[in-house]
Structure 1
């Protein structure tokens, strides 16, 4: 695996056939501007040089799989830099979704156990967990705005300040207040849409309703759609497209 990378440790360069196959499989990557594609290719190679991939459940990680994950993970930091991901090294990839056993104790001391189905998971300062089934189908699920890789890596960006609150580190208090004001207003409207759809038979929102579970999940779900289906996302959330552009595509 990655023999091409080991041979060129100081200036990694992705094999052209491998890169072109990745762009063909994930059209939302190929939609970038030419200069962005050059940067995406270079940063994907750098990402592969810095991270370690581990297959779980008997899954064998191939070059094609690793690059698919790398290229999608790089999208959110394409204009920010890979240092935003420097708090971890490991990426664990399962064949499919994972069932995790959860335990919590309520205010009365009663213990509750339940099973949670996970498409992916991010741990602060720890590895990122993904499932290959959803990664492999990211090209087609872009139509619905779904992308598990971007979702989990946006959580990493959110957690850079130590809090999962839907707000990445920003340069000033004013910037933070503006960010939260815009995001929270969009979140409130979306939660109301989900509620009306579920309880009263209203129109089902296009964006994944998982985003209504918490503000940090709304941020991650919104970013998925923003990066893989910008035009459709903007129809519902023009104010978030403007907000995200200011952060993810800062003017130099």
Structure 2
């Protein structure tokens, strides 16, 4: 079964909008684990507009499931944070400073040497590495040449096209997944996956190991409750 890692950035966004510690980021992460999530994901940014760096330390000290830290390894502060906390996995994402949300994967051909250095640095500390990529076979193949353990397919294009033509929407992702298997990469996916499209994606992507879902899951929890929402996402991954 594909693992569900819950991205709790939106909980931090809500907390920061008011100040104080409500809702509590750590308590939410522990609840997600209790309700069946197999991982917790955070994506800290330099301005700490949602996840604060202290949150990462608090989560590392308390959660029991896999811990995935996403972010831009071109920022030294991010590198230092990851190395200080040694999560299960680091996901390298090419965010620009001030970017609202991730909107593209790495050009693993252009940045292959740089990414190779980053991958080695994190793997030397026992951290599994995943590189965020678009569903392009050449990018998948070049990612493998960096020595990374996994890639994470950026799924916004799939989600946007799904309601119009699901077969066309899934096609490049299927090809990318086959290429990942061919070159020996583990496969993750994330961005705009939700209860409407997740089951179809999971059923049509071979050997999908993990999905990271935040915005849609937290939004669904407003209507369904967190426990019921996680149960539904887990059911979609069976």
Measured against the shorter chain, the TM-score band is: under 0.3
Q: Whose relative contact order is higher, 1 or 2, with alpha carbons under 8 Å and at least 6 apart?
A: 2
Which structure would you say has the larger Rg?
1
The TM-score, its normalising length taken from structure 2, stands at 0.28
